[in-house]
């Protein structure tokens, strides 16, 4: 049968498998989550180094550290990397590791599909970054505006890497979207109704809806651009009647929901942390759920606020202005509910709370400058200046990254069974806050003085000099704060305190099982009778800490076995797309590498399908 029964003998034979084979073939959502995190952190460091080179080049006027062409590659890859290879997969790390634990499941709905998402993401990320080895990294901006990104203005393989790399990454996101949507709707513990789900599960669910509805749009846009670049069609070539505006519309129909794909998981993490460290339930739970859904809904109706400067006319400008301002309402609801949660709470000043509070403050600043962009006439002054750069770093770093860091400190004990150092954690927090504000706050002023984005250098005497120097100093300070985090991990890994099952007096199900959790998560399937189920358990037991759980040997628990096919299919998908670069496809659409990739994908899919016809993950 399809099922692998984890009897003790079977467990022992699994332990004998080589560690590398184990991680390459695993379908365990926790290992997949850890790998998502590790790879995303590597890409985050690469994107950070790109940022440091950019800041060094801009530290002084008329600098010549890098060539203009390499500068274009740096800012394109910095944006692409941080969005698709750092923030999204860092969120995916938490989806993978914690969504099954928070809903009381033993794995996701489709464990092998989950492994495929991971490997497609890793291979796509490596493919994008491999472009640096050939000196031909993408250089047309992370939004790839046509016709700049077309064959005429971006010759060479630069933007081919981008067009193909993003298509590969899109497959990973869409597969994960189907998987987590199904998991959350269908694999909740008994008694966990939708309105009893932890907020992080809700924001994950809503994020998957955004992925499922917006990624197909960018996929089509990328296919059209690829056809222009590789096959010679004219979708975005004005000489052939094509309309570059179509690219902008398609890109931002995806691009604005993408903004919420980046921030909604962060909202969820903050909504988990604040109640635990305030010793109070989340204030206005249902308002939080509906405001998240409303943000996602509005997110599909505001894309053209990225395009005010294209001259769409007063009617379109007014509509998109108003729709954008409307988003401030559900976002404000969330911020007031977070403040309501900590209001009067018994605050436990641990590192996760520091980062969560830092998130609220920084995100409010980014949100306010965002509302300023919604005013179309003002936006015409701000667009394409450093004011915009300041804004989106306040929401993406001050928002997403601070929340993801808060989540890392909060859930690290559960993931690895070790406590991170509070002392180093607080040092990490303060260096981050100082470095972050020193880097990005001056950019508001540089932008209002008229400093354009994406410029390789600037002349002296325009008032930009001091702000740029401040930003560069801040960027290196910020890099130092990341080193503090890495140091924290290394030190506590070697000689840190072992984490108990429930170090923070948590409210959700993951704190009832050992740290780190056993492969099968829950020895007995949990039954839930309300929100914050673990607090209810503790209250009924009249205690603050439940007895330390025992993992047991997992006898008789049915778990899916490891599989090579997700990796094989991922390599096939990579080969399929890479083939378009090397086979001169305009002579014949499908060259040998593409055909090999297609055959490998098909072969792997068949082997996968017949390996276990009834994909399932839970015990019964």
Partner 1 sequence: MTTTTATLDQHGHEADHAAHHTSLPIDNRKLAIWVFIGSECMFFATLISTFLVYAGQSLKGPFPKDIFEVPLVTAGTAVLLFSSFFVVMALDGAQKGDRKKLLTWLSLTVMCGVFFAGMQVYEFYHFYHLGLGYTTNLFSASFYTLTGFHGAHVVLGTLWLGTLLKDAIKGRIPPKKSLNLEMAALYWHFVDVVWIIIFPVVYLMQLRS
- Residue 365 CB neighbours (<10 A): 19
> What three-state secondary structure class fits 57?
helix
By C-beta, is 487 or 590 nearer to partner 1?
A: 590
Q: Which of 538, 35, 73 is nearest to 279 (CA)?
A: 538
* 134, 153, 231, 582: which one binds partner 1 (CB under 8 A): 231
Rounded CA separation 369/386 (Å): 12
* 128, 146, 187, 390: which one binds partner 1 (CB under 8 A): 187
* 48, 61, 234, 244: which one binds partner 1 (CB under 8 A): 234
* By CB under 8 A, residue 174 contacts partner 1: yes
Angle separating helix axes 422-448 and 465-495, nearest 10 degrees: 160
* By CB under 8 A, residue 240 contacts partner 1: yes
Rounded CA separation 88/111 (Å): 19
Cα–Cα separations (whole angstroms), residue 418 to 93, 265, 413, 489: 18, 24, 5, 9
By C-beta, is 96 or 515 nearer to partner 1?
A: 96
* By CB under 8 A, residue 328 contacts partner 1: no
By C-beta, is 231 or 343 nearer to partner 1?
A: 231
Question: How far apart are CB 180 and partner 1 at their closest, in Å?
Answer: 10
* By CB under 8 A, residue 38 contacts partner 1: no
Question: How far apart are CB 218 and partner 1 at their closest, in Å?
Answer: 9
> What three-state secondary structure class fits 273?
helix
* 87, 163, 224, 427: which one binds partner 1 (CB under 8 A): 224
By C-beta, is 174 or 438 nearer to partner 1?
A: 174
Quick one: which H or E segment has residue 558?
Answer: strand 558-559
By C-beta, is 232 or 530 nearer to partner 1?
A: 232
* By CB under 8 A, residue 434 contacts partner 1: no
Considering only 76-84, 208-216, 425-433, 469-477, which stretch makes contact with partner 1 by CB under 8 A?
208-216
- Give, as ranges, the residues between 524 and 563 that touch partner 1 (CB under 8 A): 558
Considering only 31-39, 133-141, 178-186, 460-468, which stretch makes contact with partner 1 by CB under 8 A?
178-186
* By CB under 8 A, residue 227 contacts partner 1: yes
* By CB under 8 A, residue 250 contacts partner 1: yes
Q: Across the strands, what pairs with 418?
A: 498
CB 128 within 8 Å of CB 85: yes
CB 287 within 8 Å of CB 195: no
Rounded CA separation 602/572 (Å): 8
Residues 6+ apart with CB under 8 A from 613: 2
* By CB under 8 A, residue 114 contacts partner 1: no
Joined tokens for residue 257: 């929901």
Q: Across the strands, what pairs with 452?
A: 385
* By CB under 8 A, residue 212 contacts partner 1: yes
- Give, as ranges, the residues between 588 and 617 that touch partner 1 (CB under 8 A): 606, 609, 613-616
> What three-state secondary structure class fits 518?
coil
> What three-state secondary structure class fits 351?
helix
User: What is the binding site for partner 1 (CB under 8 A)?
Assistant: 1-3, 109-110, 174, 177-179, 181-182, 185-188, 190, 192, 212-217, 219-221, 223-224, 227, 231-235, 240-243, 246, 250, 253, 558, 606, 609, 613-616, 618-620
């Amino acid at each position: 049968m399809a099922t692998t029964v984890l009897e003790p003998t079977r467990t022992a034979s699994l332990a004998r498998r080589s560690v590398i084979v184990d991680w390459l073939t695993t379908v365990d959502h926790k290992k997949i989550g850890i790998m998502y995190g590790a790879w995303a952190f590597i890409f985050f460091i690469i994107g950070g180094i790109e940022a440091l080179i950019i800041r060094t080049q801009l530290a002084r006027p008329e600098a010549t550290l890098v060539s203009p062409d390499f500068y274009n590659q740096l800012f394109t890859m910095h944006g692409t990397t941080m969005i698709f290879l750092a923030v999204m997969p860092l969120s995916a790390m938490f989806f993978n590791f914690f969504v099954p634990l928070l809903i009381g499941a033993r794995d996701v709905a489709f464990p092998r599909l989950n492994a495929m998402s991971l490997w497609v993401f890793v291979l796509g990320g490596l493919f994008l970054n491999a472009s640096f080895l050939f000196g031909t990294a993408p250089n047309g901006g992370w939004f790839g505006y046509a016709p700049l990104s077309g064959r005429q203005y971006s010759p060479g393989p630069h933007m081919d890497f981008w067009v193909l790399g993003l298509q590969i990454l899109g497959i990973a996101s869409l597969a994960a979207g189907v998987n987590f949507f199904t998991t959350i709707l269908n694999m909740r513990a008994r008694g966990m109704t939708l309105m009893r789900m932890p907020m992080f599960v809700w924001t994950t669910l809503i994020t998957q809806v955004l992925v499922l509805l917006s990624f197909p749009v960018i996929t089509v846009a990328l296919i059209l651009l690829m056809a222009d670049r590789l096959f010679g069609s004219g979708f975005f070539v004005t000489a052939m009647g094509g309309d570059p505006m179509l690219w902008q519309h398609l890109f931002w129909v995806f691009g604005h929901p993408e903004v919420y794909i980046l921030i909604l998981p962060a909202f969820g993490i903050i909504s988990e942390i604040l109640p635990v460290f305030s010793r109070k339930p989340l204030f206005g739970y249902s308002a939080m759920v509906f405001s998240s859904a409303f943000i996602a809904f509005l997110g599909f109706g505001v894309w053209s606020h990225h395009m005010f400067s294209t001259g769409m006319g007063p009617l379109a400008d007014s509509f998109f202005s108003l729709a954008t301002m409307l988003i401030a309402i559900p976002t404000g609801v969330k911020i007031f509910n977070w403040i309501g949660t900590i209001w009067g709470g018994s605050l436990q000043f641990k590192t996760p709370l520091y980062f969560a509070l830092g998130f609220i403050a920084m995100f409010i600043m980014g949100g306010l400058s965002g509302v300023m962009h919604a005013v179309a006439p003002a936006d015409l002054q701000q667009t394409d200046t450093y004011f915009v750069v300041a804004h989106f770093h306040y929401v993406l770093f001050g928002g997403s990254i601070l929340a993801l860091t808060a989540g890392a400190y909060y859930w690290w004990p559960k993931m690895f069974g070790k406590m991170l150092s509070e002392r180093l954690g607080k040092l990490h927090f303060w260096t981050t806050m100082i470095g972050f504000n020193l880097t990005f706050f001056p950019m508001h002023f540089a932008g209002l003085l008229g400093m354009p984005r994406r410029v390789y250098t600037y002349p002296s005497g325009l008032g930009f000099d001091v702000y740029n120097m401040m930003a560069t100093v801040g960027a290196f300070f910020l890099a130092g704060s990341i080193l503090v985090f890495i140091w924290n991990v290394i030190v506590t890994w070697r000689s840190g305190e072992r984490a108990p099952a429930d170090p923070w007096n948590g409210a959700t199900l993951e704190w009832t099982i050992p740290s780190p959790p056993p492969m099968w998560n829950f020895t007995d399937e949990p039954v839930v009778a309300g929100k914050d189920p673990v607090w209810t358990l503790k209250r009924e037991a009249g205690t603050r800490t439940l007895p330390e759980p025992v993992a047991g040997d997992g006898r008789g628990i049915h778990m899916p076995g490891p599989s090579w096919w997700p990796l094989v299919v991922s390599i096939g998908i990579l080969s399929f797309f890479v083939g378009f670069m090397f086979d001169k496809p305009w002579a014949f659409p499908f060259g040998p590498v593409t055909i090999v990739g297609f055959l490998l994908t098909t072969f792997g899919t068949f082997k996968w399908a017949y390996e276990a016809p009834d994909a399932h993950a839970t015990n019964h």
